[in-house]
Structure 1
Amino acid sequence: MEFYDSLEMKPEQVAEPEEILTKLMAERKKLINGYYGDSRNDKQRLDESLLPSHYAISLSGEPTMYPKLPELIKYLNSLEATKSIFLVTNGQEPDMIQRLQDEDALPTQLYLSTNAADYESFVKINKPKYDDSWERWNRTLGMLKHLDTRTVLRITLIRGYNDQTDMIPAFAKMFRESSPHFIEIKSYMHIGRSTNRLEHSNMLEMQEVKRFSEQVAKQSQIFSVMDESFVSRISILQNNERFIDRWIPAYANTN
């Protein structure tokens, strides 16, 4: 969304799901093709890599602005090799999330990203384009415990912006009321365009992420720390009241 001049995409202005995937696979083949020239590489594995099993609809921009998102997810699910589809959203298009639910087009796992537990912090950190952005985000947040799929709330901690101890109660309240299946709490990483507006010092050390996660989990009363990654500076909380297995059964024992 940060690179867009318009906040609306009309159906007649966008590519069809099949066209998007066809062109994506063509580019993927270009990336992989050179590996066939190295005799040390397993040709069967290379052939398999040309057709993905797992899809993440994410990265730059906001995927829920794409008006044919339900059709895209259904199309990906119709492919024999597909094992999972993950969708990441900033929560600014709650109507699309509702469409996914109504049209039986939810992904395998839905991630809602944020970095604030109150209006002032939300506006300061995100500098949103919509006047009702806080209301939009809260509508999406309120859907997490009702959607018929796995849900994750992803929190990015930024030193000096949202990592203060006095913010923990507000985050704990948010976690408790929204009740997603999992919560990811991770440090901001000083890479990409963010280096133009933030400093390396805005990154948290893993011990700080761990301490914040343990405290907010305790105050939430329904979450506990499930796992962590030192390299990624991330902790994962699990909902003990809405417990589901961390492994997705459909492909838990596959590559």
Structure 2
Amino acid sequence: MPEKWLPLAEVMVKQKYHFAGRHTVVKKCYWTHKALTEDRHCYKCKFYGIESHRDIQMSPAAFWCWNACLHCWRIRPQDLGVDLDETKLTIVDDPKWLVDELIRIHRRLISGYKGHPRVDPKKFWEAWNPVHVTLSLTGEPTLYPMLSDLLKEVHRRGMTSFLVTRGVRPDILADLEEEPSQLYVSLEAWDKKSYNYFTRPLVPRAWELTMETLEMMPSFTSPTAIRITLVAGFNDTDEALKGFAKLINLAQPTYVEIKSYMWVGASRMRLSKANMAEHEYVRKVSERLSELTGYPILGESRASRVVLLSRLEKPIRLGKGCPEGLNTPEPEEGEYDAPYDPDIMP
């Protein structure tokens, strides 16, 4: 890693990110801990069967993104005076080696749970052998130029994958030789004006590129999802919801997830706690969006403040977690799946 990047990496390490190589980070999720110690699981388990204690949360592009979104929790280079072009990932680690490192770091992160009085030994050994990788966490994963090879490596080892993208690289998505097990496109804006205001693109035509991604989503053979991060006071108006309905009609995703923005990390310098919606409000907004799109409400997770819409009768189960599916008992309200430390600021 270039020396001038080290101040940024040092802050991320304090935030409990763990580096795999020069540009990839891994972090233990809140729900990994809860799944091991209390048998509680996140909404990905409830909706899709993803086992929370066997999920590696990572990003192959720790410092790089084509947006500077107001709600993003990540530390940006300029926050620390680091000279780095966020739009170009200039170093590339080998994908096979990276997957080896992801598994090694995941095992190191959970090693302390062996022998823990509240951890079932069987569950610990399940966690020791991860079965899912979520490419999200921080940065834009489609900026990693060997993304298709990375997905192949994940799947070759019998693991499933979620790819979460802003949709700004339709060229990369169109050329994938290996699709993720499920593709997410994350949205907060409903038109170019709201996009330029809120997502603060760092490259030209970012909105148009996002639209290209939405247009190609029906061509994917894997399940697809549009994730709408609900920011109270910004994208909860009827104008915004009608705009989202048009985008959903264009993309025809398998699922629509409406999830509350969480007031954590660096986003607290830009937004207020009032922008974080309570679950009841997420449900109310989701009901209106359901009316506009014809996507029925299929399920919800109060703990994660998320509502699932789909035209399917039930979600496609990609893993063996939460065998009761949408009927899985809820954790206590107020908990949330945060892959970051909300108390660490730049």
Q: TM-score range by the shorter chain?
A: 0.7 to 0.9
Residue aligning to 1:111: 184
Q: Distance in 1 between matches of 2:184 and 2:107?
A: 28
1:176-234 CA distance string (max 9 Å, x none): 222101000111111111111110011122222212111121122x3111111222221
Residue aligning to 2:152: 74
CA contact (8 A) 2:183 2:225 kept: yes
Deviates more, 1:206-215 or 1:122-131: 206-215
Pairing partner for 1:15 from 73, 93, 96: 93
Q: Report the secondary structure of 1:48's partner residue.
A: helix
The structural deviation recorded for 1:47 is: 3.2
Residue aligning to 1:94: 170
The residue type paired with residue 96 of structure 1 is I
> Where in structure 2 are the equivalents of 1:176-195 lying within 5 Å?
176-195=249-268
Q: Report the secondary structure of 1:154's partner residue.
A: strand
Q: Distance in 2 between matches of 1:217 and 1:42?
A: 40
Residue aligning to 2:302: 230
Q: Distance in 1 between matches of 2:128 and 2:135?
A: 18
> Where in structure 2 are the equivalents of 1:182-221 lying within 5 Å?
182-220=255-293
Structure 1: gaps spanning 5 or more residues: none
CA contact (8 A) 1:113 1:154 kept: yes
Residue aligning to 2:209: 136
TM-score, structure 1 normalization: 0.87
1:63-86 CA distance string (max 9 Å, x none): 010011100101111114x2x211
Q: Distance in 2 between matches of 1:202 and 1:208?
A: 11
The residue type paired with residue 97 of structure 2 is E
Q: 1:223 to 1:45 in 2, by over 3 A?
A: closer
> Where in structure 2 are the equivalents of 1:140-159 lying within 5 Å?
140-159=213-232
Residue aligning to 2:112: 34
Q: Distance in 1 between matches of 2:132 and 2:119?
A: 22
Q: Distance in 1 between matches of 2:119 and 2:292?
A: 50
Q: 1:230 to 1:33 in 2, by over 3 A?
A: closer
Q: 1:98 to 1:193 in 2, by over 3 A?
A: same
Q: Distance in 2 between matches of 1:93 and 1:205?
A: 32
The structural deviation recorded for 1:56 is: 0.5
Output the aligned Cα RMSD: 2.2
Instruction: Point out which structure has higher relative CO (alpha carbons under 8 A, 6+ apart).
Output: 2
Structure 2: gaps spanning 5 or more residues: 1-64, 69-75, 77-83, 325-346
Q: 1:244 to 1:72 in 2, by over 3 A?
A: farther
The structural deviation recorded for 1:42 is: 4.3
Q: Distance in 2 between matches of 1:195 and 1:139?
A: 31
TM-score, structure 2 normalization: 0.66
Q: Distance in 1 between matches of 2:270 and 2:164?
A: 23
Q: 1:173 to 1:76 in 2, by over 3 A?
A: same
The structural deviation recorded for 1:40 is: 6.3
1:248 maps onto 2:248 in alignment: no
1:65 maps onto 2:138 in alignment: no
Q: How many residue pairs align between the two structures?
A: 244
Residue aligning to 2:235: 162
